[in-house]
Amino acid sequence: MTLHENNRVFCEKTELFSDAFYGTITKIYEHSALVKVEPDQLSKKETDKIDSFGDLVVIRQTELQLVDEAGNALKEPDEELEAAE
């Protein structure tokens, strides 16, 4: 899956959070992403764990699912590779 900045994502339970949440990617790293957790999601999270970062968390890319505005999972588009000349 190829994730990009400003993609809306869903994250299942992780070591950091016991509940799933939605957020928006603000920065992509090699194997992880910095995700801004949506404000309405923070009320049910262990917010004390992310107070030092505000509403930002670093999550492994493998734990993120690309979703649309309604929260429905998006299918990864088939990207065709161009042959080198």
Look at residue 47 in the predicted model and tell me its pLDDT. Answer: 59
What the block records as the tokens of 24 is 């928006």
Look at residue 85 in the predicted model and tell me its pLDDT. Answer: 58
**pLDDT tens digits, one per residue of 63-84:** 999 999 888 888 765 555 455 5
Instruction: Return the closest-CA partner of residue 12 out of 68, 70, 64, 67.
Output: 64
**pLDDT tens digits, one per residue of 1-42:** 689 999 999 998 777 777 889 999 999 999 999 999 888 776
CA–CA dist 20, 41 (Å, integer): 9
Cβ partners under 8 Å of residue 22, min gap 6:
8, 9, 10, 11, 37, 38, 41, 67, 71
Look at residue 74 in the predicted model and tell me its pLDDT. Answer: 84
- Classify residue 24 by burial, with Cβ atoms within 10 Å: 0-12, 13-18, 19+: middle
Q: pTM for the complete prediction? A: 0.75
